Amino acid sequence: MGGLLKLSGLIDAITERIGKLVMWLILAAVIISAGNAVMRKAFDIGSNAYLEIQWYLFSAVFMLGSGYVFLRNAHVRIDFISGKLTKRTNAIIDAVGMVVFLIPLCLILISLSWPVFERSWVSGEMSQNAGGLIRWPVQLLIPLGFSILLMQAVSELIKRIAFVKGLIPEPFSDDPGAKIAAADAAAAVEAKAAAATAKAAAAKAALQSKLAKGA
């Protein structure tokens, strides 16, 4: 389990970095939107490309940020139900939901959206609006976003299982201290496994030594 917890930590770090980068896309969308409005109102200058890049950026924030939202446990929950359940029960429900619903959904949508992106890439599909943008970047966001969400779902599933087994603290917090505790738990599990392996090897060596002396 120690190796899986290390994998979970690596996925969390990647998702965290992606989430921090995606935040800047919100600022970019605001600046472009404001600039486009000023140019249109003050100088009567407009561009379909500027209009489309706004919803491209919004789509990027929505799709690429979904894994970060999952990592931060900021997704929608039915609080009046989950609040009445124990953390262990919530962890089990989460794990079942990931295995039965979320992970299969991500795999299905990745497989369905990738050919759409591929056709757009090969054909060089353009916007139907005059001066619009190429379409493949925004279509790539769909399989890419669900790939990030799938990756984070795997990480969260590992953490839920480890929590149910009592290996890590509760995995529902975005507190950095919880992440450090989870990393320490992963190291402890790995150290315990290494110690058990060394102990077994020593016992085997002792047994072989006794057998050799008896012979």
Mean per-residue pLDDT pooled into runs of 10, the chain (215 residues): 86 93 92 86 80 90 92 76 82 92 96 95 87 90 96 94 85 53 52 62 65 63
Residues spanned by the domain of 127: 2-214
Count the neighbouring beta carbons within 10 Å of the beta carbon of residue 173.
Answer: 13
Nearest Cα neighbor of 48 from 124, 122, 134 is 134
Predicted local confidence at residue 66, as pLDDT: 92
Predicted local confidence at residue 46, as pLDDT: 74
Predicted local confidence at residue 195, as pLDDT: 61
Predicted local confidence at residue 177, as pLDDT: 47
Phi/psi for 126 (5° steps) reads: -115, 160
Residue 119, SS3 per DSSP:
helix
Structural domain total, the chain: 1
Predicted local confidence at residue 186, as pLDDT: 52
Predicted local confidence at residue 178, as pLDDT: 47
pTM of the complete model = 0.75
